[in-house]
Amino acid sequence: LTLSARVKSNTDTKMNLTIKQKLTVARNFAVEIPIEILHFLVVPFALLACDEKSENLPRWAAWFDDPDYGINGDDGWRNEHFPNGKNRTYWARLCWLYRNRIGNFSAKYLGVRVEDIDANTVRTQGDVFATYNKGQKNTFCLVTCKMKDGRERFGYYREIRYGKSKWYCRIYLGWKLMDVVGMRQDNKAEYMDENDKKVLQTVWAVNPFKRIKQ
Is residue 184, in this structure, part of any structural domain at all? Answer: yes
Domain boundary pick from 90, 110, 130: 110
Residue with the bigger pLDDT between 27 and 195: it is: 27
Is residue 187, in this structure, part of any structural domain at all? Answer: yes
- Longest Cα–Cα distance of the chain, Å, equals 50
Does 29 share its domain with 70? yes
Does 100 share its domain with 126? no
Rounded mean pLDDT, 172-177: 95
Does 157 share its domain with 140? yes
Does 97 share its domain with 144? no
Does 87 share its domain with 153? no
pLDDT, residue 1, reads 46
Domain count, the chain: 2
Residue 95 · residue 179 · CB < 8 Å = no
Task: Give the span between the Cα atoms of 5 and 122, in whole angstroms.
Answer: 17
Does 34 share its domain with 55? yes
pLDDT, residue 30, reads 95
Q: 8 Cβ partners below 8 Å, 6+ apart?
A: 128
Domain boundary pick from 73, 90, 110: 110
Is residue 53, in this structure, part of any structural domain at all? Answer: yes
Does 104 share its domain with 174? no
Is residue 11, in this structure, part of any structural domain at all? Answer: no
- Amino acid (one-letter) located at 40: F
| Tens-place pLDDT, residues 43-76 | 999 999 999 999 999 999 999 999 889 999 998 8
| Tens-place pLDDT, residues 2-18 | 454 444 444 444 567 89
Identify the domain containing residue 154 by its residue range: 113-211
How many Cα neighbours within 13 Å face the side chain of 56?
A: 15
| Tens-place pLDDT, residues 116-174 | 999 999 999 999 999 999 999 999 999 999 999 999 999 999 999 998 899 999 999 99
Domain boundary pick from 110, 130, 150: 110
Question: Residue 123 forms beta bridges with which residues?
Answer: 144
Does 70 share its domain with 128? no
Beginning with the edge strand found earlier in the chain, give each strand of the sheet holding 139-147 in spatial order. Answer: 117-126, 139-147, 152-161, 167-175, 202-211
Is residue 128, in this structure, part of any structural domain at all? Answer: yes
Is residue 29, in this structure, part of any structural domain at all? Answer: yes
Does 59 share its domain with 141? no
Residue 142 · residue 126 · CB < 8 Å = yes
Does 123 share its domain with 103? no
Mean pLDDT of the chain: 90
pLDDT, residue 5, reads 43
Is residue 5, in this structure, part of any structural domain at all? Answer: no
Q: Which of 180, 182, 175 is nearest to 203 (CA)?
A: 175
Is residue 202, in this structure, part of any structural domain at all? Answer: yes
Residue 142 · residue 122 · CB < 8 Å = no
| Tens-place pLDDT, residues 72-128 | 999 889 888 998 889 999 999 999 999 988 989 988 999 999 999 999 999 999 999
pLDDT, residue 8, reads 46
Task: Give the span between the Cα atoms of 156 and 203, in whole angstroms.
Answer: 9
